[in-house]
A and B are shown apart, each in its own frame.
Chain A
Amino acid sequence: MEDGNASARPRRATGRLCSICNQRKAALKRPKTLEQICRECFYSVFEDEIHSVIVDNNLFRPGERVAVAASGGKDSTVLAYVMSQLNCRHNYGLDLFLLSVDEGITGYRDDSLETVKRNEIEYGLPLKVVSYKDLYGWTMDEIVKTIGLKNNCTFCGVFRRQALDRGAALMEADKIVTGHNADDIAETVLLNILRGDIARLSRCTFITTGEDGPIPRCKPFKYSYEKEIVMYAYFKKLDYFSTECIYSPNAYRGFAREFIKDLERIRPRAILDIIKSGENFRIATSTKMPEQGTCVRCGYISSQKLCKACLLLEGLNRGLPKLGIGRTRGSNGVKKHVEHRNSNTEVSDSNLESKQCGTLNF
Protein backbone atom coordinates (compact mmCIF):
# COMPACT_ATOMS: atom_id res chain seq x y z
CA MET A 1 0.00 0.00 0.00
CA GLU A 2 2.98 2.32 0.27
CA ASP A 3 3.26 4.53 -2.75
CA GLY A 4 6.08 3.43 -4.96
CA ASN A 5 5.95 6.48 -7.18
CA ALA A 6 5.61 9.09 -4.49
CA SER A 7 8.51 11.08 -5.85
CA ALA A 8 7.19 11.05 -9.40
CA ARG A 9 3.88 12.61 -8.55
CA PRO A 10 2.84 14.40 -5.40
CA ARG A 11 0.13 11.94 -4.64
CA ARG A 12 -2.91 12.51 -2.45
CA ALA A 13 -2.14 11.16 1.00
CA THR A 14 1.59 10.93 0.84
CA GLY A 15 3.29 13.38 3.08
CA ARG A 16 0.39 13.36 5.46
CA LEU A 17 1.96 12.01 8.58
CA CYS A 18 0.23 10.79 11.68
CA SER A 19 -0.39 13.73 13.98
CA ILE A 20 0.44 11.63 17.02
CA CYS A 21 3.69 9.83 16.14
CA ASN A 22 4.72 12.09 13.26
CA GLN A 23 6.41 9.10 11.67
CA ARG A 24 3.97 6.87 9.87
CA LYS A 25 1.50 7.65 7.15
CA ALA A 26 -1.92 8.69 8.40
CA ALA A 27 -4.60 6.08 7.71
CA LEU A 28 -7.76 7.67 9.00
CA LYS A 29 -9.36 10.84 10.23
CA ARG A 30 -10.83 10.50 13.70
CA PRO A 31 -14.41 11.76 13.77
CA LYS A 32 -14.13 12.67 17.43
CA THR A 33 -11.10 14.93 17.13
CA LEU A 34 -10.53 15.31 13.36
CA GLU A 35 -6.93 14.20 13.94
CA GLN A 36 -5.19 12.33 11.14
CA ILE A 37 -3.57 9.27 12.58
CA CYS A 38 -1.80 6.11 11.52
CA ARG A 39 -3.04 2.60 12.15
CA GLU A 40 -0.80 1.82 15.10
CA CYS A 41 -1.63 5.07 16.89
CA PHE A 42 -5.29 4.49 16.12
CA TYR A 43 -5.21 1.08 17.80
CA SER A 44 -3.61 2.65 20.87
CA VAL A 45 -5.96 5.62 21.22
CA PHE A 46 -9.05 3.54 20.48
CA GLU A 47 -8.17 0.91 23.09
CA ASP A 48 -6.87 3.43 25.63
CA GLU A 49 -10.06 5.47 25.44
CA ILE A 50 -12.16 2.39 26.14
CA HIS A 51 -9.88 1.49 29.01
CA SER A 52 -10.33 5.02 30.43
CA VAL A 53 -14.10 4.76 30.08
CA ILE A 54 -14.01 1.45 31.96
CA VAL A 55 -11.77 2.81 34.73
CA ASP A 56 -13.40 6.23 35.09
CA ASN A 57 -16.85 4.72 35.38
CA ASN A 58 -15.84 1.80 37.58
CA LEU A 59 -17.55 -0.57 35.20
CA PHE A 60 -16.06 -3.75 36.66
CA ARG A 61 -14.60 -5.21 39.82
CA PRO A 62 -11.87 -7.83 39.85
CA GLY A 63 -13.17 -11.37 39.83
CA GLU A 64 -16.48 -10.53 38.16
CA ARG A 65 -17.96 -12.92 35.64
CA VAL A 66 -18.90 -10.87 32.59
CA ALA A 67 -21.09 -11.93 29.67
CA VAL A 68 -20.22 -10.25 26.37
CA ALA A 69 -23.46 -10.03 24.39
CA ALA A 70 -22.30 -11.40 21.05
CA SER A 71 -24.36 -11.30 17.89
CA GLY A 72 -21.53 -11.86 15.43
CA GLY A 73 -22.00 -8.29 14.15
CA LYS A 74 -19.32 -5.62 14.05
CA ASP A 75 -19.88 -3.99 17.43
CA SER A 76 -20.04 -7.12 19.50
CA THR A 77 -17.14 -8.71 17.63
CA VAL A 78 -14.91 -5.70 18.28
CA LEU A 79 -16.20 -5.59 21.86
CA ALA A 80 -15.29 -9.21 22.52
CA TYR A 81 -11.85 -8.69 21.00
CA VAL A 82 -11.09 -5.43 22.84
CA MET A 83 -12.48 -6.65 26.18
CA SER A 84 -10.35 -9.75 25.96
CA GLN A 85 -7.25 -7.66 25.13
CA LEU A 86 -7.82 -5.09 27.87
CA ASN A 87 -8.62 -7.76 30.44
CA CYS A 88 -5.18 -9.29 29.89
CA ARG A 89 -3.27 -6.06 29.40
CA HIS A 90 -4.62 -4.23 32.43
CA ASN A 91 -5.30 -7.20 34.69
CA TYR A 92 -9.00 -6.51 35.15
CA GLY A 93 -9.28 -10.02 36.53
CA LEU A 94 -12.56 -10.62 34.69
CA ASP A 95 -13.95 -14.01 33.79
CA LEU A 96 -15.25 -13.23 30.29
CA PHE A 97 -17.54 -15.33 28.12
CA LEU A 98 -19.63 -14.83 24.99
CA LEU A 99 -23.40 -14.93 25.27
CA SER A 100 -25.49 -15.26 22.12
CA VAL A 101 -29.19 -15.41 21.54
CA ASP A 102 -30.57 -17.66 18.83
CA GLU A 103 -33.83 -16.08 17.75
CA GLY A 104 -34.51 -18.89 15.32
CA ILE A 105 -34.23 -16.95 12.08
CA THR A 106 -33.14 -19.31 9.33
CA GLY A 107 -30.58 -17.88 6.96
CA TYR A 108 -29.74 -15.06 9.30
CA ARG A 109 -29.05 -16.00 12.86
CA ASP A 110 -27.75 -19.45 12.08
CA ASP A 111 -25.13 -17.83 9.83
CA SER A 112 -24.16 -15.18 12.33
CA LEU A 113 -23.88 -17.78 15.09
CA GLU A 114 -21.23 -19.46 12.96
CA THR A 115 -19.27 -16.21 13.16
CA VAL A 116 -19.63 -16.16 16.95
CA LYS A 117 -18.41 -19.75 17.08
CA ARG A 118 -15.30 -18.75 15.17
CA ASN A 119 -14.78 -15.88 17.62
CA GLU A 120 -15.09 -18.34 20.48
CA ILE A 121 -12.06 -20.18 19.18
CA GLU A 122 -10.09 -17.13 18.04
CA TYR A 123 -10.48 -15.08 21.21
CA GLY A 124 -10.45 -18.06 23.55
CA LEU A 125 -13.73 -17.04 25.17
CA PRO A 126 -16.30 -19.73 26.02
CA LEU A 127 -19.67 -19.36 24.29
CA LYS A 128 -23.21 -19.86 25.61
CA VAL A 129 -26.16 -19.78 23.22
CA VAL A 130 -29.72 -19.37 24.50
CA SER A 131 -32.58 -19.83 22.07
CA TYR A 132 -36.06 -18.32 21.85
CA LYS A 133 -37.34 -21.82 21.26
CA ASP A 134 -35.99 -23.00 24.61
CA LEU A 135 -37.02 -19.90 26.52
CA TYR A 136 -40.39 -19.15 24.97
CA GLY A 137 -41.35 -22.19 22.94
CA TRP A 138 -41.37 -20.16 19.72
CA THR A 139 -38.74 -19.37 17.12
CA MET A 140 -38.91 -16.04 15.29
CA ASP A 141 -39.65 -17.97 12.10
CA GLU A 142 -42.72 -19.48 13.79
CA ILE A 143 -43.77 -16.13 15.21
CA VAL A 144 -43.57 -14.49 11.79
CA LYS A 145 -45.58 -17.34 10.32
CA THR A 146 -48.31 -16.57 12.87
CA ILE A 147 -48.30 -12.77 12.99
CA GLY A 148 -46.81 -11.75 9.65
CA LEU A 149 -44.21 -9.08 9.09
CA LYS A 150 -45.90 -6.35 11.10
CA ASN A 151 -44.74 -5.85 14.67
CA ASN A 152 -42.45 -8.87 14.49
CA CYS A 153 -39.52 -6.63 15.52
CA THR A 154 -41.41 -5.79 18.72
CA PHE A 155 -41.54 -9.46 19.65
CA CYS A 156 -37.94 -9.98 18.75
CA GLY A 157 -36.69 -6.95 20.69
CA VAL A 158 -38.66 -7.72 23.83
CA PHE A 159 -37.76 -11.39 23.80
CA ARG A 160 -34.09 -10.70 23.16
CA ARG A 161 -33.72 -8.40 26.11
CA GLN A 162 -35.01 -11.04 28.49
CA ALA A 163 -33.14 -13.82 26.73
CA LEU A 164 -29.80 -12.14 27.42
CA ASP A 165 -30.72 -11.64 31.07
CA ARG A 166 -31.84 -15.21 31.44
CA GLY A 167 -28.81 -16.59 29.66
CA ALA A 168 -26.56 -14.47 31.84
CA ALA A 169 -28.37 -15.63 34.99
CA LEU A 170 -28.07 -19.24 33.88
CA MET A 171 -24.34 -18.77 33.46
CA GLU A 172 -24.10 -16.99 36.81
CA ALA A 173 -22.78 -13.80 35.29
CA ASP A 174 -22.36 -10.68 37.41
CA LYS A 175 -22.62 -8.30 34.47
CA ILE A 176 -23.48 -8.07 30.79
CA VAL A 177 -21.55 -5.85 28.40
CA THR A 178 -23.12 -4.79 25.13
CA GLY A 179 -21.64 -3.25 22.01
CA HIS A 180 -23.79 -0.10 21.93
CA ASN A 181 -21.68 2.62 20.38
CA ALA A 182 -21.89 6.43 20.48
CA ASP A 183 -23.93 6.55 17.25
CA ASP A 184 -26.47 4.08 18.67
CA ILE A 185 -26.86 6.09 21.86
CA ALA A 186 -27.23 9.43 20.05
CA GLU A 187 -29.87 7.80 17.86
CA THR A 188 -31.73 6.47 20.90
CA VAL A 189 -31.67 9.91 22.55
CA LEU A 190 -33.31 11.39 19.45
CA LEU A 191 -35.88 8.58 19.23
CA ASN A 192 -36.84 8.96 22.85
CA ILE A 193 -37.30 12.71 22.36
CA LEU A 194 -39.42 12.11 19.25
CA ARG A 195 -41.55 9.63 21.13
CA GLY A 196 -41.73 11.70 24.29
CA ASP A 197 -40.53 8.74 26.31
CA ILE A 198 -39.18 10.53 29.34
CA ALA A 199 -38.44 7.43 31.39
CA ARG A 200 -36.24 5.95 28.68
CA LEU A 201 -34.72 9.31 27.76
CA SER A 202 -33.25 9.60 31.22
CA ARG A 203 -32.02 6.01 31.23
CA CYS A 204 -30.68 5.63 27.71
CA THR A 205 -27.47 7.58 28.25
CA PHE A 206 -26.49 5.74 31.43
CA ILE A 207 -23.33 3.76 30.87
CA THR A 208 -24.58 1.15 33.31
CA THR A 209 -28.24 0.25 33.69
CA GLY A 210 -30.10 -2.17 35.90
CA GLU A 211 -27.84 -1.69 38.87
CA ASP A 212 -30.75 -2.35 41.18
CA GLY A 213 -31.52 -5.59 39.33
CA PRO A 214 -29.70 -8.91 39.47
CA ILE A 215 -27.44 -8.40 36.45
CA PRO A 216 -26.41 -4.85 35.50
CA ARG A 217 -25.56 -4.04 31.90
CA CYS A 218 -22.90 -1.71 30.70
CA LYS A 219 -21.72 -0.16 27.46
CA PRO A 220 -17.95 0.27 27.22
CA PHE A 221 -18.38 1.70 23.67
CA LYS A 222 -20.65 4.51 24.85
CA TYR A 223 -18.20 7.11 23.52
CA SER A 224 -16.78 5.07 20.62
CA TYR A 225 -17.77 6.14 17.13
CA GLU A 226 -19.20 3.56 14.80
CA LYS A 227 -16.75 4.67 12.12
CA GLU A 228 -13.83 3.83 14.39
CA ILE A 229 -15.30 0.48 15.40
CA VAL A 230 -15.70 -0.50 11.75
CA MET A 231 -12.23 0.83 10.84
CA TYR A 232 -10.76 -1.10 13.76
CA ALA A 233 -12.46 -4.31 12.62
CA TYR A 234 -11.31 -3.70 9.05
CA PHE A 235 -7.66 -2.96 9.86
CA LYS A 236 -7.46 -5.82 12.37
CA LYS A 237 -9.27 -8.11 9.92
CA LEU A 238 -11.76 -9.18 12.58
CA ASP A 239 -14.31 -11.65 11.35
CA TYR A 240 -17.83 -10.26 11.62
CA PHE A 241 -21.20 -10.86 10.08
CA SER A 242 -23.09 -8.09 8.34
CA THR A 243 -26.26 -9.32 6.75
CA GLU A 244 -29.45 -7.46 7.40
CA CYS A 245 -32.10 -9.38 9.28
CA ILE A 246 -34.39 -11.04 6.74
CA TYR A 247 -37.44 -9.70 8.57
CA SER A 248 -37.57 -6.03 7.57
CA PRO A 249 -35.55 -3.56 9.61
CA ASN A 250 -37.13 -1.12 11.97
CA ALA A 251 -37.95 1.79 9.70
CA TYR A 252 -38.51 4.35 12.43
CA ARG A 253 -35.07 3.75 13.88
CA GLY A 254 -33.71 3.80 10.35
CA PHE A 255 -34.78 7.42 9.88
CA ALA A 256 -33.09 8.48 13.10
CA ARG A 257 -29.97 6.59 12.06
CA GLU A 258 -29.81 8.30 8.71
CA PHE A 259 -30.31 11.68 10.34
CA ILE A 260 -27.43 11.02 12.76
CA LYS A 261 -25.19 10.00 9.87
CA ASP A 262 -26.12 13.16 7.95
CA LEU A 263 -25.27 15.25 11.02
CA GLU A 264 -21.99 13.41 11.45
CA ARG A 265 -20.93 14.28 7.93
CA ILE A 266 -21.48 17.98 8.58
CA ARG A 267 -20.06 18.01 12.08
CA PRO A 268 -18.78 14.74 13.58
CA ARG A 269 -18.84 16.11 17.14
CA ALA A 270 -22.64 16.29 16.89
CA ILE A 271 -22.84 12.66 18.03
CA LEU A 272 -21.05 13.31 21.30
CA ASP A 273 -22.99 16.53 21.75
CA ILE A 274 -26.32 14.71 21.48
CA ILE A 275 -25.16 12.18 24.08
CA LYS A 276 -24.11 15.09 26.31
CA SER A 277 -27.53 16.70 25.90
CA GLY A 278 -29.15 13.40 26.75
CA GLU A 279 -27.06 13.13 29.89
CA ASN A 280 -28.05 16.61 30.95
CA PHE A 281 -31.79 16.14 30.72
CA ARG A 282 -33.40 16.47 34.12
CA ILE A 283 -36.93 15.42 34.80
CA ALA A 284 -38.99 17.67 37.08
CA THR A 285 -39.36 16.00 40.45
CA SER A 286 -43.11 16.53 40.15
CA THR A 287 -43.31 14.27 37.09
CA LYS A 288 -44.98 10.98 37.84
CA MET A 289 -42.74 8.16 36.67
CA PRO A 290 -43.85 4.60 36.11
CA GLU A 291 -43.00 2.47 39.11
CA GLN A 292 -40.78 -0.51 38.56
CA GLY A 293 -42.14 -3.72 39.94
CA THR A 294 -41.82 -7.33 38.94
CA CYS A 295 -43.89 -9.44 36.58
CA VAL A 296 -46.41 -11.56 38.50
CA ARG A 297 -45.83 -14.44 36.13
CA CYS A 298 -42.08 -14.67 35.57
CA GLY A 299 -40.57 -12.27 38.10
CA TYR A 300 -38.80 -10.14 35.50
CA ILE A 301 -38.69 -6.39 36.16
CA SER A 302 -41.80 -4.69 34.86
CA SER A 303 -43.76 -1.53 35.45
CA GLN A 304 -46.96 -3.46 34.72
CA LYS A 305 -48.49 -6.58 36.23
CA LEU A 306 -47.21 -8.71 33.39
CA CYS A 307 -43.90 -7.99 31.75
CA LYS A 308 -43.97 -7.27 28.06
CA ALA A 309 -42.56 -10.69 27.14
CA CYS A 310 -45.21 -12.55 29.12
CA LEU A 311 -47.93 -10.38 27.63
CA LEU A 312 -46.69 -10.97 24.07
CA LEU A 313 -46.29 -14.66 24.77
CA GLU A 314 -49.80 -14.92 26.14
CA GLY A 315 -51.08 -13.33 22.95
CA LEU A 316 -49.15 -15.81 20.82
CA ASN A 317 -50.25 -18.83 22.80
CA ARG A 318 -53.90 -17.78 22.82
CA GLY A 319 -53.94 -16.95 19.13
CA LEU A 320 -54.28 -13.21 19.88
CA PRO A 321 -50.94 -11.99 18.62
CA LYS A 322 -51.90 -8.34 18.81
CA LEU A 323 -52.17 -8.51 22.56
CA GLY A 324 -49.47 -6.33 24.00
CA ILE A 325 -48.79 -4.50 20.76
CA GLY A 326 -49.21 -0.80 21.17
CA ARG A 327 -48.74 1.37 24.15
CA THR A 328 -49.96 0.44 27.54
CA ARG A 329 -50.46 3.41 29.79
CA GLY A 330 -50.78 3.36 33.53
CA SER A 331 -50.96 0.35 35.75
CA ASN A 332 -54.26 -0.75 34.26
CA GLY A 333 -52.72 -1.17 30.87
CA VAL A 334 -52.39 -4.90 31.12
CA LYS A 335 -55.84 -5.47 32.48
CA LYS A 336 -57.45 -3.34 29.83
CA HIS A 337 -55.66 -5.21 27.10
CA VAL A 338 -56.48 -8.61 28.48
CA GLU A 339 -60.13 -7.79 29.05
CA HIS A 340 -60.88 -6.17 25.77
CA ARG A 341 -58.53 -8.27 23.72
CA ASN A 342 -58.75 -5.56 21.19
CA SER A 343 -55.95 -4.74 18.95
CA ASN A 344 -54.47 -1.41 19.54
CA THR A 345 -53.19 -0.11 16.27
CA GLU A 346 -51.15 2.71 17.70
CA VAL A 347 -47.48 2.97 16.87
CA SER A 348 -46.01 -0.29 17.97
CA ASP A 349 -44.12 -0.10 21.20
CA SER A 350 -40.87 -1.24 19.80
CA ASN A 351 -38.21 -1.72 22.35
CA LEU A 352 -36.24 1.47 22.08
CA GLU A 353 -33.39 0.16 24.11
CA SER A 354 -32.77 -2.40 21.47
CA LYS A 355 -31.29 -1.91 18.08
CA GLN A 356 -33.09 -2.92 14.97
CA CYS A 357 -34.29 -6.44 14.75
CA GLY A 358 -31.67 -9.07 14.47
CA THR A 359 -28.90 -7.41 16.41
CA LEU A 360 -27.99 -8.55 19.84
CA ASN A 361 -27.12 -5.32 21.55
CA PHE A 362 -29.44 -3.42 23.75
Chain B
Amino acid sequence: MHLTLEFGGGLELLCGSVKTHSVDVKSEPGEHELKMRDLLSWTKSNLIKERPEMFMKGNTVRPGVLVLINDCDWELCGGLDTELEEKDVVVFISTLHGG
Protein backbone atom coordinates (compact mmCIF):
# COMPACT_ATOMS: atom_id res chain seq x y z
CA MET B 1 0.00 0.00 0.00
CA HIS B 2 1.35 3.35 -1.02
CA LEU B 3 1.26 6.03 1.68
CA THR B 4 2.72 9.47 2.33
CA LEU B 5 4.02 10.06 5.82
CA GLU B 6 4.90 13.52 7.07
CA PHE B 7 6.77 14.43 10.22
CA GLY B 8 6.69 17.86 11.80
CA GLY B 9 7.15 19.86 14.97
CA GLY B 10 10.63 18.41 15.44
CA LEU B 11 9.78 14.74 14.78
CA GLU B 12 11.51 14.99 11.40
CA LEU B 13 14.78 15.13 13.34
CA LEU B 14 14.20 11.50 14.32
CA CYS B 15 14.16 10.42 10.69
CA GLY B 16 17.15 12.09 9.15
CA SER B 17 15.56 15.56 9.03
CA VAL B 18 13.38 14.44 6.14
CA LYS B 19 9.83 15.71 6.54
CA THR B 20 7.99 13.83 3.83
CA HIS B 21 8.37 10.12 3.14
CA SER B 22 6.72 8.34 0.29
CA VAL B 23 6.46 4.71 1.36
CA ASP B 24 5.07 1.31 0.44
CA VAL B 25 3.86 -0.65 3.40
CA LYS B 26 2.75 -4.25 3.25
CA SER B 27 0.19 -5.47 5.72
CA GLU B 28 0.98 -8.46 7.88
CA PRO B 29 0.73 -11.78 6.04
CA GLY B 30 -2.77 -13.13 6.42
CA GLU B 31 -4.14 -9.71 7.29
CA HIS B 32 -6.08 -7.88 4.65
CA GLU B 33 -6.10 -4.43 6.01
CA LEU B 34 -3.43 -2.17 7.37
CA LYS B 35 -4.34 -0.40 10.57
CA MET B 36 -2.74 2.60 12.21
CA ARG B 37 -1.27 0.39 14.93
CA ASP B 38 0.54 -1.59 12.22
CA LEU B 39 1.74 1.56 10.53
CA LEU B 40 3.14 2.87 13.81
CA SER B 41 5.27 -0.18 14.42
CA TRP B 42 6.32 -0.21 10.76
CA THR B 43 7.32 3.45 11.02
CA LYS B 44 9.21 2.87 14.21
CA SER B 45 11.28 0.07 12.69
CA ASN B 46 11.70 1.51 9.21
CA LEU B 47 11.84 5.28 9.42
CA ILE B 48 12.74 6.35 12.93
CA LYS B 49 16.52 6.38 13.19
CA GLU B 50 17.03 7.79 16.68
CA ARG B 51 15.25 8.37 19.99
CA PRO B 52 12.20 6.23 19.21
CA GLU B 53 10.84 7.11 22.67
CA MET B 54 10.13 10.61 21.33
CA PHE B 55 7.77 9.04 18.82
CA MET B 56 6.14 6.16 20.63
CA LYS B 57 5.23 5.22 24.17
CA GLY B 58 3.82 1.72 24.65
CA ASN B 59 1.93 0.67 21.56
CA THR B 60 0.85 4.14 20.51
CA VAL B 61 2.31 7.56 19.80
CA ARG B 62 3.82 9.39 22.70
CA PRO B 63 1.29 11.71 24.36
CA GLY B 64 1.77 15.14 22.82
CA VAL B 65 2.27 13.79 19.31
CA LEU B 66 -0.65 14.76 17.07
CA VAL B 67 -1.71 12.47 14.25
CA LEU B 68 -3.74 13.49 11.21
CA ILE B 69 -4.97 11.12 8.53
CA ASN B 70 -5.79 13.00 5.34
CA ASP B 71 -5.84 16.20 7.40
CA CYS B 72 -8.32 14.80 9.89
CA ASP B 73 -7.48 14.40 13.59
CA TRP B 74 -7.02 10.65 14.11
CA GLU B 75 -9.03 10.89 17.31
CA LEU B 76 -12.03 11.29 15.00
CA CYS B 77 -11.14 8.40 12.71
CA GLY B 78 -10.65 5.64 15.23
CA GLY B 79 -7.10 6.13 16.47
CA LEU B 80 -5.06 2.94 16.44
CA ASP B 81 -7.88 0.97 14.80
CA THR B 82 -8.17 3.25 11.80
CA GLU B 83 -7.89 1.27 8.59
CA LEU B 84 -5.56 2.85 6.11
CA GLU B 85 -6.25 3.08 2.43
CA GLU B 86 -4.19 3.48 -0.69
CA LYS B 87 -2.63 6.96 -1.05
CA ASP B 88 -3.53 8.08 2.46
CA VAL B 89 -1.49 10.94 3.89
CA VAL B 90 -0.56 10.49 7.54
CA VAL B 91 0.95 13.42 9.42
CA PHE B 92 2.72 13.23 12.77
CA ILE B 93 3.40 16.49 14.62
CA SER B 94 5.13 16.80 17.94
CA THR B 95 3.81 19.48 20.29
CA LEU B 96 6.62 18.87 22.73
CA HIS B 97 9.11 21.32 21.35
CA GLY B 98 9.46 24.82 22.67
CA GLY B 99 7.28 27.64 21.65
Chain A residues with CB under 8 Å of chain B are 1, 3, 11-13, 16, 25-29, 36, 71, 73-76, 179, 181, 183-184, 226-227, 229-231, 234-235, 242-245, 257-258, 261-262, 264-265, 355-356, 358-359, 361
Q: Could you tell me the distance between the alpha carbons of A355 and B73 in the complex, rounded to whole angstroms?
A: 27
Smallest beta-carbon distance A184→chain B, Å = 8
Of chain B, the residue at the smallest CB distance from A261 is B63
Question: Which B residues touch A262, using CB under 8 A?
Answer: 63
CA distance A74 to B98 in the complex (A): 7
Do B95 and A227 have beta carbons less than 8 Å apart? yes
Q: Does B95 lie within 8 Å of A29, measured CB to CB? A: no
B10 & A244 in contact (Cβ 8 Å cutoff): yes
Q: List 8 A-B contacts (CB under 8 A).
A: A13-B69, A26-B73, A29-B76, A74-B95, A226-B95, A234-B8, A243-B97, A258-B63
Q: Are A234 and B93 in contact (CB under 8 A)?
A: yes
Indicate if the CB atoms of A74 and B99 lie closer than 8 Å: yes
Are B66 and A245 touching (Cβ within 8 A)?
no
Q: Given the interface contacts A13-B76, A13-B77, A27-B71, does A261 sit within 8 Å of B97 by beta carbon?
A: no
Distance of A296 from chain B, by nearest CB (Å): 33
Q: Shortest beta-carbon distance, B1 to chain A, in Å?
A: 15
Other than the given A73-B98, A257-B64, 13 more pairs (CB < 8 A) read A1-B71, A12-B72, A12-B78, A26-B76, A28-B72, A74-B9, A74-B95, A234-B8, A234-B68, A242-B97, A261-B62, A356-B98, A359-B99
Q: Which of A3, A36, A226, A242 has the most B CB atoms < 10 Å from its CB?
A: A242
Q: Cα distance A27–B72 when bound, in Å?
A: 5
Q: Does B18 contact A (CB under 8 A)?
A: no
Whether A242 contacts B10 by the Cβ 8 Å rule is yes
For the complex, count residues of B whose C-beta is within 8 A of A. Answer: 30
Q: How far is the CA of A71 from the CA of B9 in the complex (A)?
A: 14
A231-B98 contact, Cβ under 8 Å, with A242-B10, A261-B64: no
B8 CB to closest chain A CB (Å) equals: 7
The interface of chain B, by Cβ under 8 A from chain A, is 8-10, 13, 62-64, 66, 68-73, 75-78, 82-83, 85, 89, 91, 93-99
Complex interface: chain A residues within 8 A of B99 (CB): 71, 73-76, 179, 181, 184, 226, 229, 355, 359, 361
Please name all residues of chain B whose beta carbon is closer than 8 Å to the beta carbon of A245 when the two chains form the complex.
98
Give the residues in chain A near B64, CB-CB below 8 Å: 226, 257-258, 261
B66 shortest CB reach to chain A, Å: 6
Q: Are B82 and A29 in contact (CB under 8 A)?
A: no
A230 to B8, CA, bound (A): 10
A231, closest chain B residue (CB): B66
- B98 and A16 contacting across the interface, CB-CB below 8 Å: no
Q: Which residues of chain A are within 8 angstroms of B95 by Cβ–Cβ distance?
A: 74, 183, 226-227, 229-230
Cβ 8 A contact of A230, one of B13, B66, B83: B66
Give the CA-CA distance A226 to B13 in the complex, in Å. 20
- Taking a contact as CB atoms under 8 Å apart, the answer to whether B76 and A1 are in contact is no
A73 to chain B minimum Cβ distance, whole angstroms, is 4
Q: Known A1-B71, A226-B95, A243-B10; judge A16-B76 contact (CB<8 A).
A: yes
Q: How far is the CA of A227 from the CA of B98 in the complex (A)?
A: 13
Task: State the 10 A-B residue pairs at the shortest beta-carbon distance, nearest first.
Answer: A75-B99, A359-B98, A261-B63, A28-B73, A12-B77, A73-B99, A261-B64, A242-B10, A242-B97, A29-B75
Q: Evaluate contact between A355 and B98: CB separation under 8 angstroms.
A: yes
Which of B8, B85, B97 contacts A73, CB < 8 Å? B97
Q: How far is the CA of A257 from the CA of B62 in the complex (A)?
A: 12
Rounded to whole angstroms, the CA-CA distance of A242 and B94 in the bound complex is 9
